[in-house]
C-alpha cells in the first residue's frame, strides 16, 4: 500500500511516500523558520499561507524522488490534528482533493501518532509494546504504545511542555528564534554545576511533568547574574541539565512501572544530544533498549504521517469525503483500524 503523507500542523511542510511493506520511498521537508524569525515565534496566518505555497510543489518533488506518478498512489494520509487549525486545513484540503480526483481513500492521522510511530521508519525498530517519551514544543508525555492506534498515557506535563520551556528560556536569555536549538548550542559552552535549578516533581510519585517553575527559576537567576556570555552559557547548561535529568528519571520510572524494557524517544526535543546520551547510559544500566528516530524524524515531518497512513490504509481504514481538522485531540482517544484490532486480539 503506497501512501502519500502530508504534514502541515504548524510551521513545517512535510511530504513523503511510504509503502506499507517496502518502507519509506521518499520524503521532503520545508521549514518556515525564515518566515517567522522576525516575529520571534510562529504567526498562524503566515504559516497557513506558506503551506499553501509549498505543499503541492513538495508533493511533486517527492513523487519524482520515488519514481512514481500520482496514479501510482493507493491512498493519502494527512495530519488532522492537533495543531494550528488553518495550517491543518491546508493539508487536509490538498489531501482530500487529490484523493477525490484519483478515486483513492484519504485518512486523517493524529500528529502525535506519527511521532509515536516514527521509530518504525528506522532499520532498528522496536517491537510492540514499548514506552514512548514524547517530548516536543507542544507536548511532553509518557505513553505505552501497544500497537497502531493503541496508546495509554501514563503521565504528561501539567503546564509548559519541555520544548516550550526551552523556547521561552532561550528568549529570556536573549537567544534568537528558534530558541530550543540555540539554547542547546549555548549550553555546550556552559560549565556544569554553577547553576543548580529544581527538578520539578522528581521528589513526588507519579509520571507527570512540570516545567513552568523551572523556567521561572532561570528568570530570577538571570536577573541576579552578571551580564556576560559565560554566565548566559552557564545558565543555559543549568537549565538543560535540569530538563534532561527530569525527563530521564521519569522515563526510567515509566519502564519500571510498566515492566517493559523498550523505550522510544520521539518529538523535537528527542534530537537533543545531552538527552540522548543520558537516556542511552541510564537505559544500559537497567538493561533496557532505547530507540531514537534520526533527528530529521524527531521534528515534524511527512514521513511519520505517511508511515502511519500506510499502516492504516493497509488495514482497510477509510473515511468519509470530509476534511478533518482538530486544534485539540487527545491521543488516548485514537482507535486502531478495525483490521489491526481484530488481528491483535487473536
Pairing of the two strands 12-19 and 2-7: antiparallel
What is the spatial distance between Cα 154 and Cα 230, in angstroms, rounded to a whole number?
39
Structural contact between residues 275 and 248, judged by C-beta atoms closer than 8 angstroms = yes
pLDDT above 70: residue 335: yes
Query: Which pLDDT score is estimated for 345?
Result: 36
Query: Which pLDDT score is estimated for 116?
Result: 96
Structural contact between residues 178 and 33, judged by C-beta atoms closer than 8 angstroms = yes
Tell me the pLDDT tens digit for each residue of 205-264: 899 999 999 999 999 999 999 999 999 999 999 999 999 999 999 999 999 999 999 999
Q: What is the average pLDDT value for the chain, to the nearest integer?
A: 94
Query: Which pLDDT score is estimated for 137?
Result: 82
The fold of the 2-117+298-345 domain, in CATH, is Nucleotidyltransferase; domain 5 (3.30.420)
What is the spatial distance between Cα 41 and Cα 176, in angstroms, rounded to a whole number?
10
92: nearest Cα among 105, 102, 106: 106
Query: CB-side exposure of 85: number of CA atoms within 13 Å?
Result: 4
DSSP state of 67: T
What is the spatial distance between Cα 223 and Cα 231, in angstroms, rounded to a whole number?
11
- Segment 114-137 shows an average pLDDT of 95
Structural contact between residues 334 and 87, judged by C-beta atoms closer than 8 angstroms = no
- Segment 51-58 shows an average pLDDT of 98
Tell me the pLDDT tens digit for each residue of 6-21: 999 999 999 999 999 8
Peptide bond between residue 129 and the one before it cis (omega within 30 degrees of 0): yes
What is the spatial distance between Cα 308 and Cα 302, in angstroms, rounded to a whole number?
10
pLDDT above 80: residue 81: yes
Confidence of residue 267 (pLDDT cuts 50, 70, 90): very high
Query: Which pLDDT score is estimated for 346?
Result: 34
Rg (CA), the chain: 20
Query: Which pLDDT score is estimated for 36?
Result: 95
Structural contact between residues 96 and 106, judged by C-beta atoms closer than 8 angstroms = yes
- Segment 146-170 shows an average pLDDT of 95
Confidence of residue 340 (pLDDT cuts 50, 70, 90): low
pLDDT above 60: residue 341: no
Let me know the angle formed at the C-alpha of 161 by 240 and 287, rounded to the nearest 5 degrees: 65
Give the whole-number percent of the chain exceeding pLDDT 70: 98
Query: CB-side exposure of 69: number of CA atoms within 13 Å?
Result: 2
Q: Where in the chain is the domain with CATH 3.30.420.40?
A: 2-117+298-345, 128-292
Tell me the pLDDT tens digit for each residue of 21-31: 889 999 999 99
Pairing of the two strands 2-7 and 75-81: parallel
Structural contact between residues 275 and 269, judged by C-beta atoms closer than 8 angstroms = yes
Return the CATH architecture of domain 128-292: 2-Layer Sandwich (3.30)
What is the spatial distance between Cα 225 and Cα 190, in angstroms, rounded to a whole number?
14
Confidence of residue 178 (pLDDT cuts 50, 70, 90): confident
Query: Which pLDDT score is estimated for 9?
Result: 98
What is the spatial distance between Cα 284 and Cα 245, in angstroms, rounded to a whole number?
16
Amino acid at each position: 500500500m503506497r501512501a502519500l503523507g502530508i504534514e502541515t500542523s504548524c510551521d513545517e511542510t512535510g511530504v513523503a511516500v511510504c509503502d506499507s511493506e517496502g518502507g519509506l520511498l521518499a520524503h521532503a521537508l520545508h521549514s518556515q523558520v525564515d518566515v517567522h524569525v522576525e516575529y520571534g515565534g510562529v504567526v498562524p496566518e503566515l504559516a497557513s499561507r506558506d503551506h499553501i505555497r509549498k505543499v503541492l510543489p513538495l508533493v511533486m518533488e517527492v513523487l519524482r524522488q520515488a519514481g512514481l506518478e500520482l496514479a501510482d498512489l493507493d491512498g493519502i494520509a494527512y495530519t488532522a490534528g492537533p495543531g494550528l487549525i488553518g495550517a491543518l486545513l491546508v493539508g487536509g484540503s490538498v489531501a482530500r482533493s487529490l484523493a477525490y480526483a484519483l478515486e483513492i481513500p484519504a485518512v486523517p492521522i493524529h500528529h502525535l501518532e506519527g511521532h509515536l510511530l516514527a521509530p518504525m521508519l528506522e532499520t532498528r525498530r522496536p517491537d510492540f509494546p514499548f514506552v514512548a517519551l514524547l517530548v516536543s514544543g507542544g507536548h511532553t508525555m509518557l505513553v505505552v504504545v501497544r500497537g497502531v492506534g493503541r496508546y495509554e498515557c501514563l503521565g504528561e506535563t501539567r503546564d509548559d511542555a519541555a520544548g516550550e520551556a526551552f523556547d521561552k528560556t532561550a528568549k529570556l536569555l536573549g537567544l534568537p528564534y528558534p530558541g530550543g536549538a540555540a539554547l542547546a548550542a549555548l549550553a555546550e559552552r556552559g560549565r556544569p554545576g554553577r547553576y543548580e535549578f529544581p527538578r520539578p516533581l522528581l521528589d513526588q510519585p507519579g509520571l507527570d511533568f512540570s516545567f513552568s517553575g523551572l523556567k521561572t527559576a532561570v528568570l530570577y537567576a538571570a536577573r541576579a547574574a552578571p551580564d556576560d556570555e559565560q554566565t548566559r552559557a552557564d545558565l543555559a547548561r543549568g537549565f538543560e541539565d535540569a530538563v534532561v535529568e527530569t525527563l530521564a528519571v521519569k522515563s526510567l520510572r515509566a519502564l519500571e512501572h510498566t515492566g517493559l524494557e523498550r523505550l522510544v524517544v520521539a518529538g523535537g526535543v528527542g534530537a537533543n544530544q545531552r538527552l540522548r546520551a543520558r537516556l542511552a547510559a541510564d537505559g544500559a544500566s537497567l538493561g533496557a533498549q532505547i530507540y531514537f528516530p534520526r533527528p530529521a524524524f524527531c521534528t515534524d515531518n511527512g514521513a511519520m504521517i505517511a508511515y502511519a497512513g500506510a499502516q492504516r490504509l493497509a488495514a482497510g481504514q477509510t473515511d468519509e469525503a470530509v476534511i478533518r481538522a482538530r486544534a485539540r485531540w487527545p491521543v488516548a482517544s485514537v482507535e486502531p483500524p478495525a483490521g489491526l484490532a481484530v488481528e491483535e486480539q487473536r
